Amino acid sequence: MLIDSHVNLHAPQFAEDQAEVIARARSAGIGLMVTICDRVSSFEAVHAIAMAHDDIWCTVGTHPHEAKENPLLEADTLVGLAARPKVVGIGEAGLDYHYDLSPRAVQRAVLSAQITAARTTGLPLVLHTRDADDDTAQMLEEAHAEGAFRILMHCYTSGADLARRAAALGAWFSVSGIATFKGADEVRAVIRDMPADRIIVETDCPYLAPVPLRGRRNEPAYLPHILARLAEIRGWTLAEAEARTEDAFFSLFSVIPRG
């Protein structure tokens, strides 16, 4: 089964043809998708998509860009929403010091609440990090020392040191279309060293369309290009890459029934 572990189907880019995008994904062999919540105020729209489709699941959380919308976000709020049917993860959480669209202290506070929610619910934390490797690693390590929780390093493009430290905490890693980009040699080098049993794939659509479709609006139907590049990077056959990423996905998102 091909699984797109990170889609943003409620994004305005899909407002006119969401149904067609989902249909094209299925035609391309995508058997399951996880649509991601970017802010708690978007959750109802995100959750409605998951509830309307047997092959779509969702998360609840707040992206670091949007942390300023709810700077006093409480873990209990997320835990309550996560009890809804078809909610399988917390996030997209994290730190983004590249754009700094929310104050850094607010980003850290909102991430902390989401870590607590992940630990409480047992659902994986879907983590975004950009230009914040040291703070991300420190927060994850300190929180993990207080009680384990599952971590997904989504669309991983950060450095080898953070990857090593996250892997030591048992983190999974998600490979996106960036792995296909001509100038992404450093990203591919990190992918070669990721734990083989903890790698999954994603499009992060509508963003980051893979080569040879770069520049277009991304869709789940483009996932096979990412899987093929992952197979090449790791020296796996295409069938092996599909089987390995499927196994890793269901190991991480263990609340989703398999088969």
- What is the model's pLDDT at position 191? 98
For range 233-257, the mean pLDDT: 98
User: What confidence tier does 141 reach under pLDDT thresholds 50, 70, 90?
Assistant: very high
259 in a structural domain: no
Model confidence at 205: pLDDT above 80: yes
Amino acid symbol at 173: F
51 in a structural domain: yes
pLDDT digits (tens, 9 = 90+) for 57-70: 999 999 999 999 99
235 in a structural domain: yes
27 in a structural domain: yes
222 in a structural domain: yes
Q: What is the largest CA-CA distance in the chain?
A: 47
d(CA 51, CA 76) in angstroms, rounded, equals: 22
Q: Do residues 90 and 82 lie in contact, with contact meaning Cβ atoms separated by under 8 Å?
A: yes
73 in a structural domain: yes
d(CA 252, CA 246) in angstroms, rounded, equals: 10
Q: Do residues 206 and 13 lie in contact, with contact meaning Cβ atoms separated by under 8 Å?
A: yes
62: nearest Cα among 54, 71, 53, 51: 71
169 in a structural domain: yes
User: What confidence tier does 20 reach under pLDDT thresholds 50, 70, 90?
Assistant: very high
User: What confidence tier does 259 reach under pLDDT thresholds 50, 70, 90?
Assistant: confident
Q: What is the CATH number of the domain that holds 125?
A: 3.20.20.140
Give me the half-sphere count of Cα atoms (radius 13 Å) on the Cβ side of residue 252.
29
Domain that holds residue 186: 2-252
Q: How many domains does the chain have?
A: 1
44 in a structural domain: yes
d(CA 17, CA 87) in angstroms, rounded, equals: 24
pLDDT digits (tens, 9 = 90+) for 85-122: 999 999 999 999 999 999 999 999 999 999 999 999 99
